[in-house]
Structure 1
Amino acid sequence: MSDEAWGGEDEHAIAERIDKAHADNPRLTAWLAEQRDRFDEWERRHGGGWDFSERSLDRLEALVREHFTGVDDLLAREHTPLAQVACWYLGEVHNRHRGTQWRMDPDPAVTHPWSERPYVIVPFEEIGNHRDEEGIDYDARPQHAPLSSLMNILRGPVGRPADRPAPSLRAELDDYGPDA
């Protein structure tokens, strides 16, 4: 796309503007506050002792597998405290151990349901440390949408080549690289 189409902004300026809008907006602030407020009850209902450690992701994975029969069930109950706080918890572990930050589109597109959901991403200041090897994306910072992560573990190893391990929530932490 030409610079004219973007109002003369370069890719860096556009990516920075989008990142700032996704980092600080009422939708994200409200969602984060709601999950923090729900956490104590969620923790009590699910055995207590949730410490935001990397190891606790194995427990979260087991909880999700226990309470959701599959991806369709998770999506049908996506807006319940069980699913939403699980997503928040997962993102918080990424934030606390890999330095990611929460983001959410302030004005999601009706035609793009994933734009409605929160995600965690490496801070914008580190954009230069993450390059797309194929040269397609300007902003190749690792990011994770917690709901997508939960969906992946519910799918399990079905249809995966034998040499590819089944997805796990803890293994996702490796996506940020060895220096994370």
Structure 2
Amino acid sequence: MTEPDETYDPTRHPDLLRWMGERQDAHERWAEQTSFAGVLDFTPASLGILDELIRETANSMEEVTDQRMTPFIQGAIWYVGEVFCRHQKMVWKYIPDIVSGELEPFFNAAGETSALDHPCVGAPDDPESYLYPLNMLRRILLTEDEVGNPVEETLSSIFANPFDEDDEDDGEELDPTGGWG
């Protein structure tokens, strides 16, 4: 891991640029292998198709993590990010770890996965705004939250509210009785 200097541009990391070029070059072949080449057109509506493909490929968040280096998941990561970039006015970024300030090895295939070892997308002028496409693919397979409540996320719902926070953060007052009173 290395700490970037003050001139670091998260949109210009050489590994990020190389990966983006590779993914763009491989996109047509990737789409043809899904049998949905004609409808994977980078529109927000096409996220529903990718959502189904991910659910056919993996049954859990851990499976997506384990498969993150496969051509299919790599293509899916790039595709999701591109849809957000094209329709949410976001850009690709490779940002340092928010705690250590260091850059993890890009897609660290040899080591344990980190939430920050892969690229993200975010607002061009806001270093605090970022979403990880790999984590979006993982989230759609989550069936319940940390307290056991059912969760049903889709790539389309994430796209509709990309920075949606928990109910506690939306300005609404919480019911002090927890709904029991």
Q: Tell me the TM-score normalised to structure 2 length.
A: 0.70
Query: In the TM superposition, what is the alpha-carbon distance from 1:72 to its structure 2 partner?
Result: 1.9
Query: In the TM superposition, what is the alpha-carbon distance from 1:160 to its structure 2 partner?
Result: 5.2
Q: Which amino acid in 2 is paired with 1:51?
A: D
Secondary structure, counterpart of 1:21 in structure 2: coil
The aligned residue for residue 103 of structure 1 is 93
The aligned residue for residue 155 of structure 2 is 169
Matched, 1:64 2:54: yes
CA distance in 1, matches of 2:121, 2:12: 13
Q: Which amino acid in 1 is paired with 2:24?
A: R
Conserved 8 A contact 1:98-1:176:
no
CA distance in 1, matches of 2:128, 2:94: 17
Selected match of 1:147 from 115, 124, 134 = 134
CA distance in 2, matches of 1:97, 1:147: 18
Of 100-109 and 23-32, the range deviating more from structure 2: 100-109
Query: In the TM superposition, what is the alpha-carbon distance from 1:146 to its structure 2 partner?
Result: 0.5
Q: What are the equivalent positions in structure 2 for 1:124-139 lying under 5 Å apart? A: 124=125, 127=126, 139=127
Q: What are the equivalent positions in structure 2 for 1:79-98 lying under 5 Å apart? A: 79-98=69-88
The aligned residue for residue 32 of structure 2 is 44
Query: In the TM superposition, what is the alpha-carbon distance from 1:149 to its structure 2 partner?
Result: 0.5
The aligned residue for residue 24 of structure 1 is 12
Conserved 8 A contact 1:156-1:166:
yes
CA distance in 2, matches of 1:58, 1:94: 14
CA distance in 2, matches of 1:68, 1:166: 16
Of 54-63 and 109-118, the range deviating more from structure 2: 109-118
Per-residue CA deviations over 1:77-114 (Å, capped at 9, x if unaligned) read 11011001100000000011100000114862369823
Give 5+ residue unaligned stretches, structure 1: 1-16, 128-138
Q: Which amino acid in 2 is paired with 1:144?
A: L
CA distance in 2, matches of 1:23, 1:148: 19
Of 41-50 and 151-160, the range deviating more from structure 2: 151-160
CA distance in 2, matches of 1:27, 1:160: 38
Q: Which amino acid in 2 is paired with 1:113?
A: S
CA distance in 2, matches of 1:175, 1:160: 23
Which is richer in helix? Answer: 1
Q: Tell me the TM-score normalised to structure 1 length.
A: 0.71
Query: In the TM superposition, what is the alpha-carbon distance from 1:60 to its structure 2 partner?
Result: 0.5
